Structures are given as structure tokens and as C-alpha cells.
Amino acid sequence: MLIKTRDDGLAHPFPSEITPQGVYQDRRQLLRLMAGGAAGAMLAGWAARDARAQMPARGTRLVGQTSAVSGATTPEKPTDFKDASGYNNFYEFGLDKSDPARNAHTLKTAPWTVSIEGLVKKPGNYALEDLLKLSALEERIYRLRCVEGWSMVIPWVGYSLAELIRKVEPLGTAKYVEFVTLADRKTMPYVGSSVLDWPYVEGLRMDEAMHPLTLLAFGMYGEMLPKQNGAPLRLVVPWKYGFKSGKSLVKIRFTDQQPATAWNLAAPREYGFYSNVNPQVDHPRWSQATERRIGEDGLFAKRRKTLMFNGYEAQVGQLYAGMDLKKYY
Ligand code: MTE
């Protein structure tokens, strides 16, 4: 985000993955493969399992049931899959918007485990396949607003992070959650570059992490996440700027200290810990008052007004009651 990027990078390396809207909607009706699966049934012996679990193959349908969580869907038209999977920020794979789609094929997503650590009763290494079955998968259609001034509407598939947090039982002393993402020099060509201190780390306050809108996502557009979008699992926090939503998570740590996040360490004046979407508080280099919706790029396309908390104020506003949001940006 520190580097000015081109706007033309919409190339997609896997044409077979492109799902036209109509086809995708039909699939949503037809395919209910893993949705509604063994919610909560997998916990016995969970932490004891190792990395034998195999990742579902690419192209696996994950279509989830429609979510009942308030704010979990929007009537806005989803961004084309081609744009959502071809115009990305994933600095481990390059700084240009088209780099992740071109380079992320080297990411090895199986086997995959997530380490749960810190102030928690049930720490351990949790296999991806068990995480997938922990709770019923839901479809959530969220706006994603990037601090750079563009936005998309993406149908994600996952469940509330709160489901996982409840199962692993954080201690009463846990006040924050730290999210650490994969940093593997062998498969991620830009890990080691000076743009950030690696790994990419993000954090949330415990009440933010427990909010039902905070999503642990395994898929989008009814299928497993493409690698460039953060396979095999990522966070999506829709009322915060996109960079709070860490991709390719490998560690979730419960702590009593506010986590030092990668962007805050790199440029503290530009990226605060909270990073709530707020049209009244500008980034030092970019106004946050309006945004460009990807896919509406014509010469005369109008910028949209950015909404407080990205339009999720009714759901999350009370988390910040009484806080000075200019100070806690
Ligand atoms: N996660 C990791 N590990 N590395 C990154 O560079 N970029 C963030 C976020 N998560 C990033 C990341 C930023 S700046 C944005 S806007 C979103 O991912 C983009 O998600 P998308 O490409 O799926 O739209």
C-alpha cells in the first residue's frame, strides 16, 4: 500500500476458474456440499491431530447456506470473479495488483494447520479439514473497502470467527487476538522484501474478533479461496480497511497486549491499530470520503460516498461508543 500501483492488472492465470455470474448462482442453488456439516462435532481429539489432513482439491464447491447474521448480505451486485481474483493485494507475491494472480500458484496449501496459542485453554495445531467442519459454512456478501480508495462486493464462504474462539476457550485475561499469516521464502517471492517486516501480522480487540460479522473465510463465489485471495483460510473484517483481513493464516494468538501489526510498524502515522473505515478521517495520502467500485471504471463512472464503518455502523457502532476515532484511527 505504500507503493503506487498500476490500475490495469486484471489478468487471470486460471481461466477455468472464472465463473460467470449466472452459472455461479445456479450452483448456489444446487450445491450444498459441505454446508450444514458436522457443526461442532469434530472437537474431540482435535488438537491432537497432526497435518495429515488433506486440503480439499481446487475447484471444490463450498457453497454455504445464507447467513442469518445481521449485515451479512447486501443487495449490491457482487464484483465479477475475474476482478475479485485478479486485482489483489497480497504483498508476499508482489506489489502490483496483478502479481498475486500471476505468482501465487507456488503457495502450498496442503497440508495446512493453524496454531492456536497464548491465553487460551485449548491451544494446539488445528488441521484445516477440521476447521472447515467446525461450524456450518455460510455465504456472506460483504463490501470490502481498501484504504487505497477502491472497493468490491465479494460473496465469501465461511463462519463467524467467534465459533472457533468459543471452542478453544480463551482465558479471561485475553484482551486481543493476533493473526499471523504464512511467510515462506521458498514459495512467496516477496517475503524478505523491505516493504514490510514479515510475517504479515494483524490484530483485533477481543470484542471485535467475537463480533458475528468477523468472518473466518475458506471460500468465495461458492468455491475454495483462490490462492491469490488468501487460501486456504483468511480473515474478513468488513467494517475495517481491507488490510486488517489477513490472508493465509497460520497462527491465532490470544494476548493481553495490543498486537504490533505489520502495517502499524511500517508506517504508524498511516495505519492505526483500529483502521475502521471512516470517511471523516483521511489517510495522510488518500481521502477516505469516496471510493471507486472495481468494475465500474468507465471514464464517467462516479465515485461512491464511503459509508461510516463501511456501511456496518448499525452492527458495530456500539463497539466504539465514546472513543475518539481521530485518535484511535
Ligand atoms: N494478507 C497478507 N498476508 N498479505 C497482504 O499483503 N493485503 C491486505 C489483505 N490481507 C494482504 C493481506 C490488503 S491491503 C487487502 S485490501 C486485502 O487483503 C485484499 O484482499 P483481496 O485481494 O482478497 O481483495
For residue 244, report the distance from its CA to the centre of ligand 1, in Å: 8
CB atoms within 10 A of CB 242: 22
- Which element (helix H / strand E) includes 287? none
Give, using CA atoms, the residue closest to atom 5 of ligand 1. Answer: 90
Instruction: Tell me the pLDDT tens digit for each residue of 132-147.
Output: 999 999 999 999 999 9
Give, using CA atoms, the residue closest to atom 16 of ligand 1. Answer: 242
Question: Which atom of ligand 1 is least distant from the CA of 100?
Answer: 22
Pocket test for ligand 1, best of 89, 157, 193 (most atoms within 8 A of CB): 89
DSSP states of 142-211: EEEE-TTSEEEEEEEEEEEHHHHHHHH-B-TT--EEEEEE---TTT-TTTTSTTSPSSPEEEEEHHHHHS
Pocket test for ligand 1, best of 179, 198, 202, 245 (most atoms within 8 A of CB): 245
Domains of the chain, CATH where assigned:
65-320 (3.90.420.10)
Radius of gyration for the chain, computed over Cα atoms and rounded to the nearest angstrom: 19
Pocket test for ligand 1, best of 227, 243, 263, 265 (most atoms within 8 A of CB): 243
Give, using CA atoms, the residue closest to atom 14 of ligand 1. Answer: 243
Provide the residue-wise pLDDT of the chain in tens; the chain has 329 residues.
543 333 333 332 232 333 434 434 433 433 333 444 433 333 333 333 433 344 556 567 888 899 999 999 999 999 999 999 999 999 999 999 999 999 999 999 999 999 999 999 999 999 999 999 999 999 999 999 999 999 999 999 999 999 999 999 999 999 999 999 999 999 999 999 999 999 999 999 999 999 999 999 999 999 999 999 999 999 999 999 999 999 999 999 999 999 999 999 999 999 999 999 999 999 999 899 999 999 997 778 889 999 999 999 999 999 999 999 999 99
Give, using CA atoms, the residue closest to atom 13 of ligand 1. Answer: 243
Instruction: Tell me the pLDDT tens digit for each residue of 17-39.
Output: 334 344 344 334 333 334 444 33
Give, using CA atoms, the residue closest to atom 19 of ligand 1. Answer: 89
Say what percent of the chain tops pLDDT 90: 78
Residues with CB under 6 A from ligand 1: 1, 88-92, 144, 146, 181, 200, 229-230, 242-243, 245-248
For the chain, what's the residue count?
329
Question: Which atom of ligand 1 is least distant from the CA of 241?
Answer: 16
Whole-number pLDDT of residue 3: 36
List CB contacts of 224: < 8 A, sequence separation 6 or more.
Answer: 56, 58, 59, 60, 62, 218, 231, 232
Task: Please check whether residue 328 is in contact with residue 274, taking contact to mean a CB–CB distance below 8 angstroms.
Answer: yes
Give, using CA atoms, the residue closest to atom 22 of ligand 1. Answer: 88
Facing residues of 305 across strands? Answer: 290
List CB contacts of 231: < 8 A, sequence separation 6 or more.
Answer: 107, 109, 224, 225, 248
